[in-house]
Amino acid sequence: MNPWEEIRLSDYENHMSLDSVKQLQALNEMMKKQLEAYPVTTAMVLGVAGGNGLEHVDPKKYKKIYGIDINEEYLAVVKERFSNLKDILECCRVDLTCEPDKLPKSELVIANLFIEYVGYEAFKKGIQKSEAKYVSCIIQINTDEETWVSDSPYLHAFDGLDAVHHQMDEQSLTESMGEIGYRPLKTDEYKLPNGKKLVLLDFKRIN
């Protein structure tokens, strides 16, 4: 079983929203910009978790939003929380490490703190299957590789993630995306309270 299938959503969201972490808040703010940035009508959110950021979906702009996750319970919560989007929101359980062919087509793919848990190769296969025109990623840059999960009362809920975690860096992601025909569009940074930072990297398909 993938360790993400064993982590309670409440532990994840409570940890991410702590004042000492503040990643849930940062990701929400950044995702609003991701959803607004490009002239698309379909978007896919890889690792949708509890749906953080989906409140920024404009039903007048989007015809279809796909929420992708490996955890069925997370997806059930997303459907309940965002029942107002039921006409355009479709939730799908997919393990990208072994089921990239299950991904739907989408003009925009949003992958926030997701690539870290599948690796570059699986991510590339998923992007190719999606045939996305735009890909918007957020990765976490760590100042200390020994403590890539921020300290909190919920820390041990994430112990199993060491087995699937991949260290990220901007250059490797850019090179990986270039291998499948995507060029970088823009980058942005969001500093976090614990010395870590979130880095946004957007890409566009060349052909």
Question: Cα–chain-centroid distance for residue 199?
Answer: 12
C-alpha span between 117 and 94 (Å, rounded): 13
Residue 194 has pLDDT above 90, yes or no: no
- H helices of 72-169, in order, are 72-81, 120-130
Residue 145 has pLDDT above 70, yes or no: no
Among 59, 60, 43, 57, residue whose Cα is nearest residue 105: 43
193 close to 20: Cβ distance less than 8 angstroms? yes
Which pLDDT tens digit goes with each residue over 49-105? 999 999 999 999 999 999 999 999 999 999 999 999 999 999 999 999 999 999 999
- H helices of the chain, in order, are 9-17, 23-36, 72-81, 120-130, 170-179
Tokens 């090179």, residue located: 175
Residue 109's domain comprises: 3-205
Structure tokens at 31: 């995702």
Which residues lie below 8 Å from residue 165, measured CB to CB, with a gap of 6+? Answer: 116, 117, 148
143 close to 201: Cβ distance less than 8 angstroms? no
Banded model confidence at residue 195, pLDDT cuts 50, 70, 90: confident
Among 101, 14, 86, residue whose Cα is nearest residue 49: 14
Evaluated on CA atoms 121, 139, 118, 56, the torsion sign reads: negative
Number of domains in the chain: 1
CATH assignment at residue 98: 3.40.50.150
Residue 160 has pLDDT above 90, yes or no: no
pLDDT of residue 147: 58
- Bridge partners (DSSP) of residue 191 are 197
Tokens 């459907």, residue located: 79
Banded model confidence at residue 149, pLDDT cuts 50, 70, 90: low
Average pLDDT over residues 23-37: 96
Banded model confidence at residue 41, pLDDT cuts 50, 70, 90: very high
Bigger pLDDT: 19 vs 32: 32
pLDDT of residue 5: 95
Bigger pLDDT: 207 vs 175: 175
